[in-house]
Amino acid sequence: MSEDIERYENALELELFREYRDVIGLFTYVVETERRFYLCNQVDVQARPVGGDIFFELTLTDAWVWDIYRSSRFVRSVRVITYKDVNVEELSKPELNIP
């Protein structure tokens, strides 16, 4: 039984990776939090002090979420609040060569 579950989850991960590979060219940014990985076209990160701590509020637009259990990974906008570090990376786009 546990082997069946493991095979199922491995198949879902492979399917997710293939989808990621197919859609990454549609997005401008990669955003990584402690819980999720996102692709998006716009990202706004705000540091918010609370007492002696800081949390981050992210607003992502036109996003894709790395999550094997979501039925729809494409979302119009996402608001994420996290107390951990956030990594935002702009993807490099290959130069468009028009013949």
pLDDT digits (tens), the chain, 99 positions: 889 888 998 998 999 999 999 999 999 999 999 989 999 999 999 999 989 999 999 999 999 999 988 888 999 999 999 988 899 999 987 665 555
Q: Flag whether 98 is in a domain.
A: no
Q: Flag whether 56 is in a domain.
A: yes
Expressed as residue numbers, the domain containing 52 is 2-90
Domain count, the chain: 1
Q: Flag whether 28 is in a domain.
A: yes
Q: Flag whether 83 is in a domain.
A: yes
* Residue 85 pLDDT: 85
Q: Flag whether 50 is in a domain.
A: yes
Would you state the structure tokens that stand for residue 19, as one six-digit string? 């989808």
Q: Flag whether 38 is in a domain.
A: yes
CB 77 within 8 A of CB 61: yes
pTM as predicted: 0.83
- How far lies 61's CA from each of 6, 27, 28, 75, 80, in Å? 33, 10, 11, 8, 11
Distance of CA 95 to the CA centre of its chain: 24
Q: Flag whether 99 is in a domain.
A: no
